[in-house]
Amino acid sequence: MTRRPIEYWISTVRLLAVPFAVLQVSLTNNYPSGYELVAWLLTAALAVAAVVLFATVRGSRTYRFLAMAFDFGVVAGFTILYGFELGTPTRQLLLLAIVVGAVRFGMRGGIAVALATIPVAALFEQQRAHWFHVGYRIEYVTFQSGAGLLMALLVGWVVTRLDEQRATAEQRAEEAEALRDELGRRADLLDAANRCARALSSSLDLDEAVNAFIRELRGLVPFDRMAIVLSEEGTARIIATAGEQAPGAISAGAEFSPENSLISDVVARGQTVYRRDMAQPLYVEEDELLALGLRSRVAAPLLAGARPIGLLSLSRREPDAFQEHEIELTGLLGRLAASAVQNIRSYESERRTVEELRSLSALRADFVSLVSHELRSPMAAVIGAARTLQARWRELQPDQRESFLALIGDETTRLAALIGDVLDTSRIDAGTFSYRFSDVDIAALVRDTVAMAAVGQDEVPIVAQVAPGVPVVRGDPERLRQIFGNLIDNAVKYSPTGEAVEVLVSQANGSVLVSVRDRGPGIKAGDQRLIFEKFGRVTAGNSKPGSGLGLYIARSIAETHGGTIAVSSAPGRGSTFTVKLPA
């Protein structure tokens, strides 16, 4: 029980005691002189106090102490008042005061009231001895006092035990309520996490999934800025941002070194980090965040299993703006986001692998068809010319024989080139393509290659322009000749008759540049990457016979020399292939 109901009950009993006191005073008609007035005064005081105390019931300790003192005073007064009657039982009222004290204050209150009744009992015994001219009986006093103490101990112990049990029950009720609240909060967190998980799994496209996640996140943990950052192979990359934006290192798609940034701590510790106030920056990116007006920040690790792969960062304008449950929810969302990002990236990786395999399979099929055609055509020409010469040698004129022999030579050369490209490609793939490096005079090498290409045909002029002071490079001269020869042959093949092919040699920024420019039909942007792939060929109607391996081989040779090969082209504007080699 609480104290207020106890006081209310005692006040009710006090009110009921008023008519009892009135009845007792009115029935007693043999008062000694002056006693009746005192009795009515006590009864009036009891009535007034009973009404006041009932109307102002309090649970405070001071109120209870004053009420107990009043109750004891009234009981003591009636006990002494009725001491003039022989055999009066009024002294038993003192036990009632002891019970009330024990109920109000436990064992201490009961004992205190019991001790206070000792002088009252002694005075009562003195009154009895005076009025009835008998001896003073000390045992009456000690018996009354002992009985009062025993009752105080008994009732006080019961009340104390009840108070302890009440306190225990209240504590358990508070714990149960706290547990209920905690379970409710956990249920809310779980529901919020489920909504975010559904948003993340709503699409296998990373951007769409992240955008759905951000929309859901705004309603769960409001933020002024949000970012998802991945850390891979010593590089941090921001894959998504929302809210306050800024150009530079903290914008979406930006890559930066994780050193001295918050992501390095989050990934290293695998725990959520809460920056209550970024007024004193600790990490390199916080200056930019402060410039956006952001002060507090919580960063949760993206945990793929037990391995941190990045962070989920939420920022607000106010310092120390995140509550504990928001920090906990952010940590949970970091795990969900990491799992979704990993799954989507795995799917994308597998999809790209499947697409690459499908593309490779298609390229190989095209290559088989192409090579079959490229092999069959020259073989048919060689076989036809050889059979004709064998059957009609004597009938043919000398110039006709020379024509057939030239055809056989050209077609066998074409076959040899095709077979050579296939063999070179297989060696490159196997890592057995051999090189012999030495100092190479690129200017002289280019002039020789241009001269050889010009001897083989006279329809397309080939012009070499070499800048003065071109340095030598370290490389394999035969492999480099193979690159330039391939580029010049392609340029001649696709150039209109009479339009010159220009071969330019220059140097820039410590590199040697060799550019081959033609006036051919040009290459569409979508095909410019394809032509450097194995078996890759332009599918337009202006394509020429070939294996589709020449540029792949040229690129591999250039990269082995530490260089690159690139193309600049547009339909109808010709093409320029540029080889860049370190000097």
Q: How confident is the model over 410-430, as pLDDT tens digits?
A: 778 777 777 777 777 778 777
Distance, in Å, from the CA atom of 502 to the CA atom of 152, rounded to the nearest integer, reads 120
pLDDT in tens, 273-312: 999 999 888 898 888 888 888 999 999 888 877 788 888 8
* 70: Cβ contacts below 8 Å, ≥ 6 apart: 49, 53
User: 10 Å Cβ neighbour count for 101?
Assistant: 30
Q: Note the pLDDT of residue 204.
A: 65
Residue 241 shares a structural domain with residue 340 = yes
Task: Choose the final residue of a domain: 307, 334, 350.
Answer: 350
Query: Is residue 195 domain-resident?
Result: no
pLDDT value at residue 200 = 66
Are 344 and 448 found together in one domain? Answer: no
291 lies in a domain? yes
Whether 76 has a pLDDT exceeding 70, the answer reads: yes
The chain-wide mean pLDDT, for the chain, equals 81
The stretch 262-270 carries a mean pLDDT of: 87
Both 156 and 233 in one domain: the answer is: no
Measured CA to CA, the distance from residue 568 to residue 53 in angstroms comes to 103
- Range(s) of the domain holding residue 121: 3-172
Angle of helix 35-55 versus helix 3-27 axis, rounded to 10: 160
Distance of CA 224 to the CA centre of its chain: 16
Model pLDDT, residue 535: 67
Q: Is residue 102 part of a domain?
A: yes
- Domain-embedded: residue 398: no
Residue 390: inside a domain, yes or no?
A: no
What's the pLDDT score for residue 287?
86
Taking only Cα atoms into account, the Rg of the chain, rounded to an integer number of angstroms, comes to 53
Task: Identify whether 569 is part of a domain.
Answer: yes
- Which one-letter amino acid corresponds to residue 340? A
Count of domains for the chain: 3
For 134-154, what is each residue's pLDDT tens digit? 778 888 788 888 888 888 888
Q: Residue 456 is which amino acid?
A: G
Percent of the chain with pLDDT over 70: 88
Say if CB 567 and CB 523 are below 8 A apart.
yes
Residue ending a domain, choose from 117, 149, 172: 172
pLDDT 10s digits, 380-397: 778 888 888 888 888 888
Clarify whether residues 460 and 547 are in a common domain: yes
Task: Give the per-residue pLDDT at 537.
Answer: 65
Which residue type occupies 264?
S
Question: Which of 172, 188, 217 is the last residue in one of the domains?
Answer: 172
> Is the residue at 478 inside a domain?
yes
Q: Are strands 473-475 and 575-582 parallel, antiparallel or unpaired?
A: unpaired
State pLDDT tens for residues 324-368: 888 888 888 887 777 777 777 676 777 777 777 776 676 666 666
Q: Which residue has better confidence, 100 or 348?
A: 100
Instruction: Say whether both 234 and 142 belong to one domain.
Output: no
- Residues 175-188, mean pLDDT to the nearest whole number: 79
Q: Give the pLDDT of residue 545.
A: 58
pLDDT of residue 192: 67
Cα–Cα–Cα angle for 278, 282, 287, nearest 5°?
A: 60
Q: Give me the long-range contacts of 563-566 (CB less than 8 A, separation at least 24).
A: 563/511, 565/483, 565/532
pTM over 0.75: no
- The reply to whether 219 and 292 lie within a common domain is yes
Rounded to whole angstroms, the Cα distance separating 465 from 516 reads: 10
From the CB of residue 543, how many other CB atoms can be counted at a distance below 10 Å?
A: 13
> Do 222 and 160 share a structural domain?
no
Of the listed ranges 97-101, 250-254, 390-394, the least confidently predicted one is: 250-254
CATH (domain of 571): 3.30.565.10
pLDDT surpasses 80 at 539: no
For residue 332, the domain's CATH number is 3.30.450.40
Are 275 and 345 part of one and the same domain?
A: yes
Asked if residue 71 belongs to a domain, the reply is yes
Cβ partners under 8 Å of residue 411, min gap 6: 378, 379, 381, 382, 385
Are residue 130 and residue 267 in the same domain, yes or no?
Answer: no
**The predicted structure's pLDDT at residue 374:** 62
Lowest model confidence (mean pLDDT) among 194-203, 387-396, 434-443, 465-474: 194-203
d(CA 491, CA 484): 11
Q: Does 237 lie in the same domain as 128?
A: no
pLDDT score of 396:
82
For residue 576, what pLDDT is reported?
Answer: 92
Structure tokens at 399: 């110039």
Same-domain status, 449 and 577: yes
- 116, 245: one domain: no
